[in-house]
Amino acid sequence: MSEQARATRVLRALHGFFNGFLDAYAEGCAPDGAALPYITYQMVVPEPLETAGCYARVWYRARGYGDIAGTLDAIGAAIGPGCRLEAQGGGAVWLYKAEGFIQFMPVQGDGDLKCAYLSMRIAANTD
């Protein structure tokens, strides 16, 4: 299978997972004016039988961090100790929480724009 086909399968699995919580976009692909809250995720294609670091960011507008807690709890519960995502066309992608799974990051210059950074590990067998 080509590297492009593997990447497409991984991207679709990640998109399907994160889009189940909020509108989700690959990092750098959120359209201008996308309605908050939304998720951006890093597109990582690990080598077969290996894991790689990856992240997602939950973007939202609020005075505090409590407004997004339910979404973060739901994502964390769905990943659990590790979750298997079906890869369209065959195989699977696995997500695992990395150490420091949730980190809150204020956005410089806009006190009401918030970002929750989710640190994960990813593995894929899409061949």
105: helix, coil or strand? strand
Q: Are β-strands 24-26 and 38-41 bridged in parallel, bridged antiparallel, or unpaired?
A: parallel
21-78 confidence digits (pLDDT tens): 999 999 999 999 999 999 999 988 888 778 999 999 999 998 877 878 999 999 999 9
Q: Does domain 3-125 have CATH number 3.30.2000.20?
A: yes
Task: Average the pLDDT over 5-12 and give the result.
Answer: 88
Q: State pTM to two decimals.
A: 0.91
Label residue 2 exposed, middle or buried (CB < 10 Å: 0-12, 13-18, 19+): exposed
* 126: pLDDT strictly greater than 80: no
* 127: pLDDT strictly greater than 80: no
3-state helix, strand, coil in the chain (%, to 5): 25, 40, 35
What does pLDDT average to over the chain? 91
- Which letter does DSSP use for residue 64 in this model? S
Q: Please provide residue 58's backbone torsions phi and psi, each rounded to the nearest 5 degrees.
A: -100, 115
Which among 35, 25, 46 has a CA at the least distance from the CA of 94? 46
DSSP E strand boundaries for the chain: 24-26, 38-41, 51-61, 83-86, 92-106, 113-125
The residues spanned by each domain of the chain are 3-125
Where does residue 5 fall: left (phi above 0), alpha (psi -120 to 50 degrees), or beta otherwise?
Answer: alpha
